[in-house]
Amino acid sequence: AQSVAQPEDQVNVAEGNPLTVKCTYSVSGNPYLFWYVQYPNRGLQFLLKYITGDNLVKGSYGFEAEFNKSQTSFHLKKPSALVSDSALYFCAVSSPQAGTALIFGKGTTLSVSS
């Protein structure tokens, strides 16, 4: 069965510092990996995805993520955090071999202080 783990419920970082939000996954076959962001009282918005190719993918708002197959990880990163990045972040996985659905982690709250 597919699963996603986000080991940190909350990540706190000062504005201007780099940030990392962690994600590990378990899936049979090749993973399709995604990051979404949710602002208060809003639906989820797509940030970036890894399907194949370069392990480092770049997405919206300056975010990037690195796919590491050996560690089954897909950590979200940003070189310099903004207060406006404060939100709830979700990692998600699907797999063509599993042929099923899009599964989400529990989410990590990112808090960026000024």
- Residue 68's region, left for phi above 0, alpha for psi from -120 to 50, else beta, is beta
How are beta strands 3-5 and 44-50 bridged, if at all?
unpaired
Using CB under 8 A as the binding rule, whether residue 34 contacts other proteins is answered as: yes
Least distance between other proteins and beta carbon 70 (Å): 22
Of 58, 68, 61, 54, which Cα lies nearest the Cα of 25?
Answer: 68
> Residue count at the site for other proteins (CB under 8 A)?
27
Task: Please say which residue, 26 or 45, places its beta carbon nearer to other proteins.
Answer: 45
Q: Which of 9, 40, 70, 114 binds other proteins (CB under 8 A)?
A: 9
Residues 73 and 62: their CA atoms lie apart, in Å, by 20
Q: With contacts defined by CB under 8 A, name the span among 13-21, 65-73, 74-82, 97-105 that binds other proteins.
A: 97-105
